[in-house]
Each structure stands twice: as structure tokens, then as C-alpha cells.
Amino acid sequence: MTALIEIENLHARVGDKEILKGFTLTINEGEVHAIMGPNGAGKSTLSYVLAGRPGYEITSGSVKFKGKNLLEMSTEERAREGVFLAMQYPVEIPGVPTATFLKHSLNSILKHRGEKELDTMSFIKMVRAKAAELGISQEMIKRPINVGFSGGEKKRMETLQMAMLEPALSILDEADSGLDIDALKVVSEGVNRLRDDKKSMLIITHYQRLLNYIIPDFVHVFAEGKIVKSGNKNLALELEKNGYSQFISNS
């Protein structure tokens, strides 16, 4: 199997607080990994560090993405290389139509790959087809990014971004946050359509319910800044039953 991302003994801090404390994980092409853990374990910090969000200091460790040093890349370079972060709380960007944002984002990636950029008509045809598959109306695509959208609509729009940009690694940070059961099913179905033997996913969640719909190949328990146990999908059921207390020190 071909390794897509290799994270080795990663330590990171914000200010004086160390949050990642020796995180190690390899994700191969086509694999779906789920990370579950209690609040404060560092799950969202991990997603921000991988995506290149400012404000996080890497103190030691390494991250290789497609064999390249991910930590030396800017946020924009990581996105063009194929790292995508679906945020827990997608931000609103007033004044920027969703379609315009998607077209410029996609063409930036195509240019980076040395491929031909899409003209307006080709893009419109593509985005309409992808949106229809995900149950997203044409009206939503015309609106400013996430402005006035419900929680479920925001998450579906992120799924559309994934479908259009086709990232090699999609990081889903609390993708089930704020979703009712119907919205969760819709978003999960959209994510599952994107799975193939090349694209990989890292799903970050508190709860097992999301993993009923997006079934992972591997589940990892993340506590106190690192992975403390790994297993298959049955580990998620164990966590749902017994909680995280056994993995948290009392000190």
C-alpha cells in the first residue's frame, strides 16, 4: 500500500500550552481513519496543524504528505497539494458567491497540477451536476458562501467543495456537529460517494453515530495529545458504551 500522509511523533503548542504530545499516524491511499476522543484531547488542533492554520507552533516531529514535507508548505500550498479541511463551524463569507469561490479554487488546483483550467461553461456544467448528486439547489450555489445557511446546508456545501476539488486527503472535523439525523444521513451519503481507492479521509468526532453512516477502516482513541489505542469499527462501539475515562489520567 502507498502511504499518503505519515505523521511521526508530532508535538505542537499554542502559546505556553502543549497540545499535541507525540502524535503518530500513517494513512495510506484509499483509507478512512476515524479519531475519537474527549474534549480537550487535541483533535481539532491536529486538524488545524495539518491544514496549516496560523497560531500553532510545531516543536518537534514530522509530517510527510505524498513524500513531501507538509510542515514546510503554506496553507495555500497544502490545499493545492490536496489537503482539505471540512471545518466544525464553516465560516460565512459575505459578498463571495459560492460558484465564484469554487471556480477559482478548482482552477488554482488544476493550474498547480499543470492541467487545463475550466472555462465558465465547463465549470457551470460540472458544478450543476455535482450539486444535483448531493441534493444542493442551484440557488444555493449562487448565494454568498454559507451566508444564511442552516448547519446542515453548510455541511452539504463543504461536501460539494470536496466533490469539486477532489482532495487526496479530506479532514472532517466534527462533521456531525449541529446536524439532526436527516441532515447527518444526507451529508454522510455525500461523503461516501467520494470514497475510492486513492482518496483518503480523516474523520474527527466525539460520537459513534457518525460512524454508522461513514464506516471507517480504522478507529483511533485520541487522549491527552496522542493516540492511545487503535482498532477497527468495533472500537467506536466500545467507546460509546464505556466512554473515555479509562484513557484519561487523573494527574
Specify the pLDDT at position 250.
Answer: 58
Percent of the chain surpassing pLDDT 70: 98
Model confidence over 148-191: pLDDT tens digits? 988 888 888 999 999 999 999 999 988 777 777 887 888 888 88
Specify the pLDDT at position 5.
Answer: 98
- With a cut of 60, say whether residue 38 has pLDDT above it: yes
Rounded Cα–Cα distance for residues 101 and 97 (Å) = 6
| Alpha-carbon distances of 21 from 11, 137, 198, 219, 227, rounded to whole Å | 5, 44, 29, 19, 9
| CATH class assigned to 3-247 | alpha beta
- Cβ(58)–Cβ(113) below 8 Å: no
Please report which confidence band the pLDDT of residue 4 belongs to, taking 50, 70 and 90 as the band edges: very high
Please report which confidence band the pLDDT of residue 100 belongs to, taking 50, 70 and 90 as the band edges: very high
Model confidence over 101-159: pLDDT tens digits? 999 999 999 999 999 999 999 999 999 999 998 888 889 999 999 999 888 888 889 99
Q: How many CB atoms lie within 10 A of CB 88?
A: 18
Mean pLDDT of the chain: 91
Going from N- to C-terminal start, the domains of the chain cover 3-247
